[in-house]
Structure 1
Amino acid sequence: MVNCNYIHLDEYQFFRIVVSEKKHKSRIILQPICQRIEQAYLTYLNDFDSLCGQPESHFATDDQNIRTALQKCYSSSTNSFTQFRANYYNHQPPAVRDLCPYCMIDTPYTLDHYVGQTEFPEYSILTKNLLPCCFKCNQQKNETWRSNNVKTFLNFYDDRFLQYPFLIADMQFIRNIAILSFTLIQPAEINNLQFALINRHFSALGLLEKYNKKSNNRLSSEIKTIQYMMGDGWIDADIRAQLLARYNGFSIQYGPNYWECHIYKALADHLTEIRLL
């Protein structure tokens, strides 16, 4: 897992530009509420913890036309918002352009509203509320973003502890079949609140189960490759060096908590058992 790059534009000015580009019917609905949007943005950007505890949107009791117009700022794109979306991935690290930061499994073809736009339509085009996401995670996450006044999911702009290893994999051999099992651990650099958030994120998306399934599907082919190398006379030290090179390459590109890199670390640590299969 890796962090996304926040573009740091003037969010409120961007909203006003988008409003100015809307058709007349939408403009006359949105222009009178611009000051309220600015206050909502300030809460999101400067005091997100209070937003987590906010019972509902400040627009919850407004006329449905206002809520719909706010949501259509996203769904009925103007030139400025279309350009933002087109350029978004150019500002992201290669790992985020390749893999969904929520799961690190599929390609992020969509943008997710971290705070759901149905519940909080005022944040429909707040760019810091938009995160790259694959179709599966977007559907699974849906409008969920908090539970008991705390975040449910990692925020890949703000949660700056993803460089510390908290995902490990253990390999066992049951009836000569290798099985990999992923677990979360709390390193010293991550505090209790941060680790609780990591656990909520993984639980909500079922990531440990997904990683177990995908890695175990991969293991058999990787072990066959290793066995061919052993049959060709490779010594364990050289095989281990090859596997650790792949582990390090994936870790550098996708972070130390990328599930796939742990396949190669586990294989490197169990060559003695693999040689006996």
Structure 2
Amino acid sequence: MTTSRAARPVGAVTRGTTNPNRLRRMDRWIVASHGGALRRAGSAVAVDLGYGAAPWTAVELLGRLRRVAPRVRVVGVEIEPERVAAAKVFEQEGLSFVHGGFELPVGEAPMLVRAANVLRQYDEREVVGVWERLCARLAPGGMVVEGTCDEVGRRHVWVALGAEGPRTVTFAARLGSLERPSDLAERLPKALIHRNVPGEAVHAFLRDFDRAWAAAAPYASYGVRQRWVRAVGDLAGDWPVVGGAGRWRQGEVTVEWGALAPRGWVGR
């Protein structure tokens, strides 16, 4: 491996924490929202960026995507060479691992870039630049999904981006783990986690979500899922919620990025 400065991957080494099935909620949403585009693209490339100390998430991503896009290929990209070397034994048809960072050294332009728990250690001011760099590498119709989850994937929040920039924010949870929707605030992605304060849109959204959740308390007798669906339905009266009850029943709610963007947002 060359050690010249020009060839060094772009980015910094992450903690590498990972667990099997950690990204199932994000993957489920990707399959539902982007699976058709991946299938139509044929032999498309999907990137698991910063998969961590073990390659479980990349292996799982291949299996989940191939259920809807049989010719998709997954490339795991890691900035730590030792992690890449350890992952090589898991390579198979359609799955490979390479050393790299935000420059995405995967050959062709990817149709999907999934970056989970990668930007948490970065400064908020660096997020827009990373987003723009990743989006610039996308194939036509491609998507970047960037967000954060807890160690076992019970709570997850992510931003979906296209070539034009951020599109939506999705909140997803194992509903039995929540006391109230604002519990998800601890998993907001880097672009939003410091904006959960009065005067910012994401703070107002979570406040309104908690109010809708409290108002939906009588539905708890039918189960936590029914309470969540009712709360999201009420929330959709005031916020631009994307998608319908089929997704809500999965413990999700997706909102247009523009409604939650930080004050003074200057990105694309």
The TM-score normalised by the length of structure 2 is: 0.27
Q: Which has the higher helix share?
A: 1
Q: Which has the higher strand share?
A: 2
Larger radius of gyration: 1
